[in-house]
Chains A and B, each alone.
Chain A
């Protein structure tokens, strides 16, 4: 009871005092609020700039998507070699790679020697293989991606045309994103010491070219498309075919879609 009385007395006393003479405490309170307001007011205005990132390219007019038909892949590794040549990917690191799945009732075997860059050698497995296939992998450019969420410096971001990119200048190389990516799509660049990953060849696609891996794929396994373009083959396939994504249960909403994906593929 005592405590309650004292509190109500304080509450009653304060406004009365403030009305007569603003004490030091109230003055400082007000000043701090003013300062906060001023800070927000001044901080809210970064330099205004044009909408268009580059000459002749409007990123609001595109939303890219990638489609992989695993039934067509022959495991030649041309894509991984082209990617390395196009993007200066250091040896032993991969922006895209190919996995081979050899599956039987008794077991399964997955390999990806040098990311599939040199093709695939014959393989012996200790069970009776009933099916085998190749699965190309790359960054899924997820809509709800954990890699951006964990970046402490705003180096990873998603563009308006639907890519996840890494700002090498902002990146401090903490590798949180490398850990966060459930697809293993990122690596720490051994020379630059910043996170690196597939960009869907942003320097090509913004010029109307296809990513290097799609450009060289001899079987049409890899397809690149624009969801904002009508009659785009990739858009039509995603809209009308039975497509799936890797690790859909994680709800990362990948924008790299797969046709004819097997349950063994993670």
Chain B
């Protein structure tokens, strides 16, 4: 009888400990942890759906802006996505409806980001040293002038 009591106590302790471990584990370890490795697999799905894509690509502009799109694809800026100079599509369109006007930056700095002559750019790439360019063109001093006075951004001269 003495043995049986000892066995019963030990088994009881074991059962309680096991229950505590498995319940604690259930609370502490996320549901999908370990399915494919030591990480929470549900996060893969969360990352896929973290937000709707914001950049639509150049093709997404053509349905409404066919004229500008055609001009762009015919010119030297054919590889320059609309969203580079304007903004991501999501700022302008939501669920197929226009929400907000697209920003139109007409400043010198917009063009300068790509075309200002600085160290680092490939030599073949068209670059402009502003003062030199203006004097070559006989266009006078640079004050108050922007590139778009003479150039069409959707189809600049090559």
A binds B: yes
A residues lining the B interface (CB < 8 Å):
24, 27-28, 31, 34-35, 38-39, 42-43, 46-49, 53-54, 57, 59, 71-78, 82, 85-86, 100-102, 118-123, 125, 129, 132-134, 154-160, 165, 167, 169-170, 199, 201-204, 206-207, 209-210, 212, 215-216, 218-220
The distance from the CB of B14 to the nearest CB of chain A, in whole angstroms, is 5
Inter-chain contacts of A48 with B (CB < 8 A): 35
User: Would B40 and A219 count as touching, CB distance under 8 A?
Assistant: no
* Structural contact, B113 and A165, CB atoms closer than 8 A: no
B87 touches A85 (CB 8 A): yes
A157 surroundings in chain B (CB, below 8 A)? 37-39, 43
B51-59, B133-141, B145-153: which lies at the interface: B51-59
Known contacts A86-B88, A207-B48, A215-B83; 6 further A-B pairs (Cβ under 8 A): A27-B6, A34-B14, A75-B121, A78-B113, A119-B109, A203-B52
Q: Are A100's CB and B120's CB within 8 A? A: yes
List chain B residues, Cβ under 8 A from A203. 47-53
Bound Cα distance A27, B9 (Å): 12
Residues of the A chain whose Cβ atoms lie less than 8 Å from the Cβ of B37: 157-158
Dominant secondary structure of chain B at its interface with chain A: loop
| Nearest A-chain residue to B38, judged by Cβ | A154
When chains A and B are docked, how far (Å) is the Cα of A199 from the Cα of B48? 10
Q: How far is the CA of A160 from the CA of B33 in the complex (A)?
A: 15
**How far does the alpha carbon of A92 sit from the alpha carbon of B101 in the complex, in Å?**
27
Separation of A216 and B88 alpha carbons in the complex (Å): 10
Q: What's the minimum C-beta distance from A208 to chain B, rounded to whole angstroms?
A: 10
Nearest chain A residue, comparing its CB with the CB of B84: A78
Q: Is the CB of A169 within 8 A of B40?
A: yes
- Bound-complex Cα distance A73 to B122 (A): 7
Also in contact, A47 and B22, with CB within 8 A (given A203-B51, A218-B79): no
Q: Check B57–A122 contact: CB distance below 8 A.
A: no
Of residues 14 to 42 in B, which have CB atoms within 8 Å of A's CB atoms?
14, 17-18, 21-22, 25, 29-41
The answer to whether A122 and B122 touch across the interface, beta carbons within 8 angstroms, is no
Judge whether B114 and A74 touch: CB under 8 Å: yes
* Interfacial residues of chain B within 76-123, with CB under 8 A of chain A in the complex: 77, 79-81, 83-84, 87-88, 109, 112-114, 116-122
Contacts of B57 in A (CB 8 A): 209-210, 215
8 A/B residue pairs, CB under 8 Å, sorted by A:
A46-B32, A74-B114, A119-B112, A125-B119, A154-B38, A165-B44, A216-B81, A218-B81
Closest chain B CB from A104 CB (angstroms) = 11
Partner of B49, one of A27, A54, A72: A54
Question: In the complex, which range does the number of interface residues on chain B fall in?
Answer: 35 or more
Q: Which of B46, B53, B87, B112 contacts A204 (CB 8 A)?
A: B53
Q: Which residues of B contact A72 (CB under 8 A)?
A: 122
- Contact of A206 with B80 in the complex, beta carbons under 8 Å: no
B residues within 8 A CB of A77? 113
Nearest residue, chain B, Cβ from A158: B37
B32 touches A49 (CB 8 A): yes
User: Measured between C-beta atoms, what is the minimum distance from B148 to chain A in Å?
Assistant: 17
Are the CB atoms of B119 and A122 closer together than 8 Å?
yes
Question: Is B81 touching A215 in the complex (CB atoms < 8 A)?
Answer: yes
Instruction: Report whether A74 and B121 are in contact in the complex, using a CB–CB cutoff of 8 Å.
Output: yes
Among A27, A38, A167, A169, chain B packs the most CB atoms within 10 A around the CB of A167
Closest to A163 in B: B47
Q: Which residues of A contact B49 (CB under 8 A)?
A: 54, 203
Bound CA span A122–B34, Å = 52
Minimal beta-carbon separation of A246 from chain B (angstroms)? 18
Nearest-CB residue, chain A, relative to B25: A43
B125 on the A face (CB < 8 A): yes
**Chain A residue at minimal CB-CB distance from B39:** A157
Q: Which residues of B contact A100 (CB under 8 A)?
A: 119-120
Assess whether B18 is in contact with A38, with CB atoms less than 8 Å apart.
Answer: yes
* Most chain B beta carbons < 10 A, residue from A77, A102, A120: A120
10 closest Cβ pairs, A-B complex:
A157-B39, A119-B113, A167-B43, A132-B119, A76-B114, A53-B44, A218-B80, A100-B120, A78-B84, A154-B38
